[in-house]
Amino acid sequence: MANKDVLKEIAQKKKERIILAKQQVSEEDLKAKVEGLPAARPFMESINKPRQISLIAEIKKQSPSRGVIREDFNHQDIARIYEECGVQAVSVLTEEDYFGGNISYLSDVKSIVSCPVLRKDFILEPYQVYESRVFGADAILLIAGLLTREKMVELMGIADTLGMDCLVEVHDEKELKKVLNLKAPLIGINSRDLHTLEVAPGTTEKLFPLIPKGKVVVVESGIKSSQDVLFLKILGVNAVLIGGAIMSAPDIKNKIEELMGW
């Protein structure tokens, strides 16, 4: 496992999936479908609340680092609980091969919740940005470690024309510099190195002070307790994205209330 580059492997699989998707629905067809859609819900605005830390609650069945996280996985039931809890946004993992996701989960979840929905996947090209919008995403995840500067500019530009926000994810100082040069308003700090799947404790403490005031910052990965959330709130982080801790809890609602102090 140690010398396996997981991110590279996932990206390779994803490229094959995109080729298949294009055979089903062309990019032109997606662009045509985008035309008549209602406006996207304001993702960044929803998670940027003064004096409080927002929750982006994730829907995912499994992950490469943990295997199956939730056996009795039903994305619609989970979405209903999230809606009841009043989460600020929902993140939906749509990657098929490693996370057990599906693009159709986006539209299912979108019809249940009233908050914005983030598509969490390995987005490599414009086709997926249009696809995200057609299936109901209000925002998309872009992984700095996976994309060149030019590609990020291109994808952010397309998302912008479609009214979608981009959560741009970094996991070290080099990636953060790249993203700050792009003037991305919404930055995700992921303490998990996606190449090795190792979690580096202290990533947030190291990177957060380097981010200019005025950016909206989301911390992802490794948030397990209310102490973790409180620490990030005091630090000044705008939102937490929590998947594993919620997905592995027998009682999702209780877990959210316990983590967030709601």
pLDDT at 197: 87
CB 142 within 8 A of CB 176: no
DSSP state of 144: G
pLDDT at 1: 42
Could you tell me what percentage of the chain is helix, strand and coil, using 3-state DSSP and rounding each to the nearest 5?
A: 45, 20, 40
User: Which residue is associated with the tokens 């929902």?
Assistant: 90
40-260: CATH topology is: TIM Barrel (3.20.20)
pTM, to two decimals: 0.96
Report the run of H or E that residue 19 belongs to, with start and end.
Answer: helix 6-24
The residues facing 119 across adjacent strands are 92, 140
pLDDT at 3: 62
Report the run of H or E that residue 6 belongs to, with start and end.
Answer: helix 6-24
Point out the residues that are catalytic: 58, 60, 120, 169, 190, 220-221
User: Which residue is associated with the tokens 């492997």?
Assistant: 9
- Which of 9, 109, 96 lies closest to 59 in space, CA to CA? 109
DSSP assignments along 162-206, one per residue:
TT-EEEEEE-SHHHHHHHHHTT-SEEEEE-B-TTT--B-TTHHHH
Q: What is the pLDDT of residues 131-181, one digit of tens each?
A: 999 999 999 999 999 999 999 999 999 999 999 999 999 999 999 999 999
- Which of 149, 216, 202 lies closest to 179 in space, CA to CA? 149
CB 218 within 8 A of CB 224: no
Q: What is the mean pLDDT of each run of 10 residues along the chain (262 residues)?
A: 80 98 97 95 97 97 94 96 98 97 98 98 98 98 96 98 98 96 95 88 94 96 94 96 96 98 94
